[in-house]
Amino acid sequence: MPSFDFSIKIVGQAGQAAQFVPQGGQPGGTLTVKANDIVSWGNDTTEAHQPWPTDAQHNMLPVPPAPLLTNEIPAQQSSSPAWVVTGSAGTLYYRCKTHPNRNEFGTITITT
C-alpha cells in the first residue's frame, strides 16, 4: 500500500490561540489519512508549538501508549520528526502541549 505525505499548517498571532489548518481544509478542520501516511506540521507563527495526543475532551494522554506525534516545533519551522500514521481506523485528537491553556486543538481521522 503506498503512503502519502500530508501537512498541517499552524497559523496565528503571538499570544493568541493558534489554529491548525489541515492540507486542503479550513482552520480547525479534520485531516483524513490512512495507515502508513506521513503527517508533518509547518509552524507559520512566531511561537513554538507541539501537537500532543489527547482524548476526545482534549485532555492530554501519556506517551506511550499514545503516539508521540512530533517534537516541539520552533517558530517558522517544520516538525521533526514527521509522524508516520499507525494503528487502526479511528480519530486522533491533539492539542498544543506548549500552550495547554489555549484552545489550540486538531483532529486527524484515520481511515482504512
Range of the domain at 62: 5-111
User: Each residue of 60-88: b (16+ CB within 10 Å) or e?
Assistant: eeeeeebbebbebbeeeeebeebbebeee
| CA angle (41, 43, 47) in 5-degree steps | 140
User: What number is the average pLDDT over the span 56-82?
Assistant: 95
Q: What pLDDT was estimated at residue 25?
A: 94
Q: What pLDDT was estimated at residue 27?
A: 93
Q: What pLDDT was estimated at residue 1?
A: 63
Domain total in the chain: 1
Q: What is the DSSP letter of 60?
A: B
| CA angle (20, 78, 5) in 5-degree steps | 75
Nine cell digits for residue 36: 502508513
pLDDT digits (tens, 9 = 90+) for 9-21: 999 988 899 999 9
- CATH number of the domain where residue 33 is located: 2.60.40.420
DSSP string of 71-104? --B-TT-B-SSPEEP-SSSEEEEEEESS-TTS--
Nine cell digits for residue 26: 479550513
